[in-house]
């Protein structure tokens, strides 16, 4: 009898654990209170040299539509191909910025170079107040020769104990080295289609 009771208790614990895991997975897979404001699918491209960095934004704007602050954890480049590294990400106020009405460091599109200004904040651990917009800037670096792309950006964040993922259709292609992709008779370095595998 005691042995049977032990197995019943173990089965019950397994069932509870599975239920909690399923709940967390569902919460993690939803967009939650953070919105990309119905962002249109956007693709960018740039030729740079191996080891050189580029900044990508768009601008990549999100808004906290909830009633509580949220905390940003990290970004993931969906479909990221080998040969390209995510160097980092930072956030700036949007649309107003200490340096003017548009965030100087929230690059519009894609430009060579990557670096934070004094008023910028690293994305990891940054908080977004209720009903506030921010712009996100991504930094990437090619580590090998070729055409490297991603198809979308996942922004992972949390609100209290709940984790969420917001997917934005922002894609880019980085072509390295720079020389073959500029000037006459250059190779193709066209932007990728967002949300499609490359």
32-54 pLDDT, tens digit per residue, is 999 999 889 999 999 999 999 99
82, HSE (Cβ side, Cα atoms, 13 Å): 0
Secondary element (H or E) of residue 48: none
Dump strand ranges (E) for 52-118: 54-64, 70-78, 84-93, 110-112
Q: What is the Cα–Cα distance from 30 to 18, expressed in whole angstroms?
A: 19
Structurally, at CATH architecture level, domain 32-181 sits in Sandwich (2.60)
Percent of the chain topping pLDDT 90: 61
pLDDT value, residue 94: 83
Give the residue from 36, 58, 59, 73 showing the smallest Cα distance to 164.
73
Answer yes or no: is pLDDT of 55 > 80: yes
Q: Which residues pair with residue 150 across a beta bridge?
A: 172
**Model confidence, pTM:** 0.79
CA 156 to chain centre: 8
d(CA 132, CA 30): 20
pLDDT band at 107 (very low <50, low <70, confident <90, very high): low
* pLDDT tens-digit series, residues 117-145: 776 789 999 999 999 999 999 999 999 99
Residue 80 banded pLDDT, cuts 50, 70, 90:
very high
pLDDT in tens, 88-105: 999 988 876 555 555 555
Query: Domain limits of the chain?
Result: 1-30, 32-181
Residue 81, CA atoms < 13 Å, CB-side half-sphere: 19
pLDDT of 109 above 90: no
Q: What is the DSSP letter of 36?
A: -
Using the CB atoms, write b or e for 58-70: b if 16+ within 10 Å.
Answer: bbbbbbbeeeeeb
Q: What is the pLDDT of residue 11?
A: 39
């Amino acid at each position: 009898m005691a042995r049977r009771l032990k197995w019943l208790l173990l089965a019950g614990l397994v069932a509870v654990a599975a239920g909690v895991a399923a709940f967390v997975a569902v919460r993690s897979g939803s967009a939650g209170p953070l919105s990309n404001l119905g962002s249109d699918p956007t693709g960018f491209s740039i030729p740079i040299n191996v080891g050189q960095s580029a900044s990508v934004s768009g601008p990549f704007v999100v808004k906290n539509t909830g009633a509580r602050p949220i905390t940003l954890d990290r970004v993931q480049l969906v479909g990221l191909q080998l040969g390209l590294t995510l160097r980092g990400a930072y956030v700036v106020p949007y649309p107003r910025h200490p340096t003017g009405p548009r965030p100087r460091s929230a690059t519009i599109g894609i430009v060579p170079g990557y670096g934070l200004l004094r008023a910028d904040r690293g994305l990891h651990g940054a908080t977004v107040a209720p009903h506030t917009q921010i712009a996100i800037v991504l930094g990437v670096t090619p580590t090998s020769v070729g055409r490297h792309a991603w198809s979308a950006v996942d922004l992972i964040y949390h609100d209290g104990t709940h984790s969420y993922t917001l997917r934005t259709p922002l894609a880019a292609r980085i072509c390295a080295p720079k020389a073959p992709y500029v000037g006459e008779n250059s190779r193709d370095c066209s932007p990728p289609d967002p949300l499609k595998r490359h």
